Structure 1
Amino acid sequence: MASHAGVSMTTVSDVVNGKGRVDPATRQRVLDSVRDVGWRPRRSARALRSGETGIFALCFPRREHGVQDWLLNADYDMALVAACAAAAVDSGRQLLLAPRPTDLEDLARLDVDGVIIADPQEHDPALRILDQAGIPTVTVERDIRRDDKWWVGTDNTGGANSALDHLTRQGARRIALLTADERWSWFADTTAAYRAWCADHRLRPLVRTINADDPRTSAAEAVRSLLRLKNPPDAVLALPQGSALGVLDAAAAAGIGVPDDLKLIAGIDSQTLMVSQPPVTAINQQPMRIAQAAVALMIKRVTGDDVPGPTLVATDLVVRHSTASL
């Protein structure tokens, strides 16, 4: 709508909220654009901020791969949705699962009191739009370029150190990391923790960045390249959902045994990893606890309470056959 009227989103927000000093001609142009695009919000932005609907929205990143691939690796997302819905209902509210807003028209369809953004990207545009509209937001993990206390996340550094220490206890000496080409704090924090851990242990880091939208295939390609090194890795920490299956594919194709020749830990757990051959050790990202904390933080934000800082949730390492003969 802002582009339709030829003004900034802040000006549109001022007009629809009836605030600010806007030139009468500009105000009329915005109102004409509102009429032309058919935007008829059920209530004003002032009401959005007053907490009158009893509804929170949960927004996931827009994904390029198909629904079938997403469902295969979406255990974390589905657990997060279920737990957010339960926490919202327990607080006397409802949860709406919605696409990320990209403009004011999207916001008009979000008739909610606040928005929970899962996995924000660096300089996430959805957060900028929500901020400009004055809609309370909480993020699951953080935008790595924002100085913001309104977020909930897992202890990515602790999770990485736990996984790497476990691999070392199992005899691994050359541990590779598979991360992703998404600018998410999960990947950035874990990669930083991995490099710091390698420096502390005087080990050479082996980092490969794979395609988050095709994790299994790109992980298999990355591992094949690692196995061709003069000193190939004897263990892999594979972060993106689905990437651990690609590691298993590459190991099987090369005739390498897991865990005897190559140990494997997945950065996020799933039902598929529990029944794979072999079952894969994984970091439990605690989606149920994350969801409960996110809803609790959102309630504080919409009711005007203050918080001392972000909420960090500790991870657990679920040990299976891919790192040790059980």
Structure 2
Amino acid sequence: MRVSLKDVAQLAGVSIKTVSNVVNHYEHVTPAMRERVQRAIDELGYRPNLTARNLRKGRTGIIALAVPELGNPYFAELAGEVIDAAAEHELTVLLDHTRGEREREVLVSQGFRARVIDGLILSPLELEPEDLSARTDDVPLVLLGEREYALPYPHIAIDNVAAARSAVRHLIRLGRTRIAFLGARTDSPNRPAQLRLQGWREELKAAGLEGGERLAAPTGGWDRGDGAEGMARLLDSGVRPDAVFAYNDLVAVGAMRVLHERGLRVPWDVAVVGFDDVPESRYGAVTLTTISPDKKAIARLAVSSLVSSLERAAAQRVNGNGDAPPEQQPSVFAPFRLLERESTLGRR
């Protein structure tokens, strides 16, 4: 038999309203009363009816997270962090896989799940500013990633230029002078790739080193096979770098495989730095030096921004100004750090 608020109130010797205040974390409850009610909750094993609570608030208690690639370890880890952060707000997360396709990202952003979800966290790759300008859905939206839309939606990112410069600076300090960037795609709207390429160029220029196009090696995509093919093409072109800064860890792993096959030792002949700090970077035969974005911070910032947007929208409805135009939201940057491992330092 399901335990009710009334059962808890009778055991604690308080009113149902007092139990409700404790369950809903209202501030104006004395510590002694809160402890008394909590003992009764624990003894009876009471669990709040979240469905009923959300219905009273006009919500579903569900938010969506839409990412380009669930198979990519970075996005898989990020999704786990978002789920954990959402659970702290008693929210359930619905996952969407856009495959980085503009049509799919537009569909998600325009609210095709509007009746199911309270809010959306979207990490777009191909979405254009005009796609969001035309958005008519009023479901709160938080954007992840490095594309800047200058629109009134919270935007969580990391400073990709600064992160790339940190990676290249590390290689320069180790005495590397012919540093390639693997994953250059000027034909793609992928903003992180463009920003990391920019950071690579800026740091080489600051050090007075070459950063020309022959060292900017394109790849067909950003997976292991793409990194292997790109590394092979670079070596076959006659270019012999003494270091590689890869767009991400998966590209770096593919590149290291080709370097091994060609008889080049990592890091002695060619040092390698990746980006994302996925689990594979920590457990390979040669552990990978990488830029590690703070995924937990990104997730928490995204969820807290979405919750704030939900609360703001609810307040506007109560106050009768639900049609008030939203204000421009500044970008929020999560921290990152460079993790130095064997692919640049060798085994100690």
1:56 paired with 2:63, answer yes
Q: Map of 1:37-56 to 2, 5 A cutoff?
A: 52-56=59-63
Deviations 1:18-49 (A, max 9, x none): xxxxxxxxxxxxxxxxxxxxxxxxxxxxx9xx
- Structure-to-structure mapping, 1:2-17, within 5 angstroms: none
State the SS of the aligned residue for 2:112.
helix
Aligned position for 2:304: 296
**1:301: how far off?**
1.9
How does 1:23-42 map onto structure 2 within 5 Å? Answer: none
Q: CA deviation at 1:82?
A: 1.5
The Cα shift of 1:262 comes to 0.1
Out of 71, 90, 94, the position equivalent to 1:96 is: 94
Which of 293, 310, 315 matches 1:285? 293
Q: How far did residue 222 of structure 1 move?
A: 1.9
Conservation of the 8 A alpha-carbon contact between 2:249 and 2:290: no
Partners of 1:51 and 1:232 in 2: CA distance: 62
Aligned residues: CA RMSD: 2.9
Tell me whether 143-152 or 267-276 shows the greater mean CA deviation. 143-152
Aligned residue runs from structure 1 range 202-281, under 5 A: 202-205=208-211, 206-212=215-221, 215-229=223-237, 232-281=240-289
Q: Secondary structure at the match of 1:316?
A: strand
Aligned ranges for residues 124-143 of structure 1 at < 5 Å? 127=132, 131-143=135-147
* Alignment match, 1:85: 83
For residues 103-182 of structure 1, what are the structure 2 equivalents within 5 Å?
Answer: 103=107, 107-108=112-113, 111-123=116-128, 127=132, 131-147=135-151, 150-179=154-183, 181=185, 182=188
Deviation at 1:110, TM superposition (A): 5.5
Q: Does 1:309 align with 2:330?
A: yes
What displacement does 1:252 show?
Answer: 1.1
CA distance in 2, matches of 1:236, 1:283: 13
Partner of 1:193: 199
SS of the residue corresponding to residue 247 of structure 1 reads: helix
CA contact (8 A) 1:177 1:237 kept: yes
Contact persistence 1:123–1:146 (CA under 8 A)? no
The alpha-carbon distance between structure 1 residues 51 and 128, as it changes in their structure 2 partners (threshold 3 A), is farther
Distance 1:149 1:96, change over 3 A: closer
Shift of 1:296: 1.0
Contact 2:184 2:194 in 1 (8 A): no
d(CA) in 2 for partners of 1:245 and 1:88? 32
Q: Distance in 1 between matches of 2:248 and 2:58?
A: 36
Alignment CA distance shift 1:303-1:193 (3 Å): same
Gap regions ≥5 residues in structure 1: 1-46
AA in 2 matched with 1:86: D
Partner of 1:4: none
Q: For structure 1, which segment, 300-309 or 311-320, has the greater mean C-alpha deviation from structure 2 after superposition?
A: 300-309
In terms of Rg, which structure is larger? Answer: 2
3-state SS, counterpart of residue 268 of structure 2: coil
My pick for the range that moved more, 171-180 or 159-168, is 171-180
Q: 2:15 — aligned with what?
A: none
Q: Give the match's secondary structure for 1:53.
A: coil
Find the aligned partners of 1:180 and 1:81 in 2 and give their Cα distance. 26
Distance change >3 Å, CA 103–CA 267, structure 1 → 2: closer
Distance in 1 (alpha carbons) for counterparts of 2:146 and 2:282: 29
Shift of 1:88: 1.2
CA distance in 1, matches of 2:227, 2:78: 25
Partner AA of 2:202 in structure 1? A
Give the TM-score normalised by the residue count of structure 1.
0.73
- Residue 286 of structure 1 deviates from its aligned partner by 1.6
Range moving further from structure 2, 262-271 or 142-151 = 142-151
Match of 2:176, SS state, is: coil
Change (3 A) 1:51 1:138: farther
Q: Percent identity?
A: 24
Given that 1:269 and 1:284 are in contact with CA atoms closer than 8 Å, whether structure 2 keeps it comes out as yes
Shift of the alpha carbon at 1:145?
4.7
Aligned twin of 2:189: 183
Corresponding residue of 2:14 = none
What's the TM-score once normalised by structure 2's chain length?
Answer: 0.69
Q: What one-letter code is carried by the residue in structure 2 that aligns with 1:275?
A: Y
Contact 1:121–1:143 under 8 Å retained in 2: no
